[in-house]
A = this chain, B = another copy of it.
Amino acid sequence: MEEIEFTIGHLSRETGCKIPTIRYYENIGLMPKPPRSTGNTRVYEHSHLQRLDFIQHCRELGFNQNAIRELLDLTDRPDQSCAAVTEIAQTHLETVNQRISRLTALKSELKHMITACEGGRIEQCRIIERLADHSHTTSRTQAK
Q: Give chain A's interface residues, CB within 8 Å of chain B.
A: 15-17, 49-54, 56-57, 59-62, 71-72, 74-75, 78, 82-83, 85-86, 89-90, 92-93, 96-97, 99-100, 102-104, 106-107, 110-111, 113-114, 117-118, 120, 122, 124-129, 131-134, 137, 141-143
Closest 6 CB pairs of A and B: A16-B143, A62-B62, A54-B132, A53-B132, A50-B132, A82-B117
Query: A106: which B residues are within 8 A, CB to CB?
Result: 61, 92, 96
Minimum CB–CB distance from A143 to chain B (whole Å) comes to: 3
Expressed in whole angstroms, the Cα–Cα distance for A110 and B125 within the complex equals 36
**Cβ-neighbour of A61 out of B89, B99, B113 (below 8 A):** B99
